[in-house]
Structure 1
Amino acid sequence: MNFIDRPIRPFSLPSSIATVSRSFRSTTVPRSRPESPIRAARTRLLLPALLAVVLLAAGCATSPFSGAGPVVAKGPADALRGEIAPGERVLWGGRIVGVVNASDVTELEILALPLDRADRPRASAEGGVRFVVRYPGFLEPVNYAPGRLLTALGRFTTVETRTVGEFDIEQPVIDARQVELWPVRDPRPQTQFGIGVGIRL
């Protein structure tokens, strides 16, 4: 019998390969579940909320005096103790308690307060000593009214004795070149909306 006349035997897979083949045919690929409308709506709300939180945090940490250069890390009380030399640059802030408009300069009397990371006076802190900010030109007393928060960048000049009621009080004086009158924060409670993930708008 030659090669052409030989009978053709049926081909069969080894048992291990056949088992894998049957297993593969019987396995079904799970289909992805469509996103529910509620989940999609929450996702659309969450992304702008997270972006707003990031921008708010970045804005709160930014100081209007960030590019002003170096200043001495001492306050008005240090000036009263003679620890600041005339001409040194300082950054002080606090609450306005008085304003006087002279012919060519405006004098602001300030009750010193510690500054936060944005160089804004901490309104809830206890006031320290009083100091005087001299700013060239006219500042509107209606805007720079007692009670407003202010931060001033300038050079320490001297210590003057001024009368407060019936008391004579020594007050450091600075010649300011930049002042920041901080906006008044609304004390009324604000409506907050929860979106289910612990972040409030």
Structure 2
Amino acid sequence: MTQALLKISVLLTKTHKSLLNVNGVACKNPNQVTADDFYFPGFDKCGNTSNKLGSAVNLVNVEKLPGLNTLGISMARIDYAPYGLNPPHIHPRASEILVVLEGSLYVGFVTTDNKLFTKVLNKGDSFVFPIGMVHFQYNYGTTNAVAFAGLSSQNPGTIRVANALFGSKPPISDDVLTKTFMVDKKTVNYIQTQFQ
């Protein structure tokens, strides 16, 4: 938190007996801040990729690391089993830069005029996903892959496209989904059962 915000937080805390919220997150009283508010252990540990997608994302945002509040950054470790996928998703509040540490990934994003940009990344390569673009990463190899991502928001948000369309509660009308994807109702219903 910047010095100016710390001073405002102290003033408000003393005057109104309440905490200042910045970006929807309460700022801690500066007298109660510790080194632990700026520390996160665990990026050395592999995520559990034994799921349908074969990937695991460990996002460290302001919820896990309070010291990120107002800094406009967050970070993630993504682990991929062989043929694991970080499925198409959007970060509504952040651009992302991805760096491959192990393995190889096929990555890409789609622009608002439906142009696809893709690249195969190997160890040490990086790729940028602009804010709000649908993007993905796929481990097409037979060995595990690991990547780190830096995001330009302390709370980037994540909307998985398939989950949003087929796993919403209450569900989106079959009529909407059948017309959108040009498939029959049986196919839509089957896909929806995969997200329950």
Fold-level similarity (TM above 0.5): no
Q: Which entry has the higher C-alpha Rg, 1 or 2?
A: 1
Of structures 1 and 2, the one with the larger relative CO (CA 8 A, separation 6+) is 2
Q: Normalising to structure 1: TM-score of the pair?
A: 0.23
TM-score by length of 2: 0.23
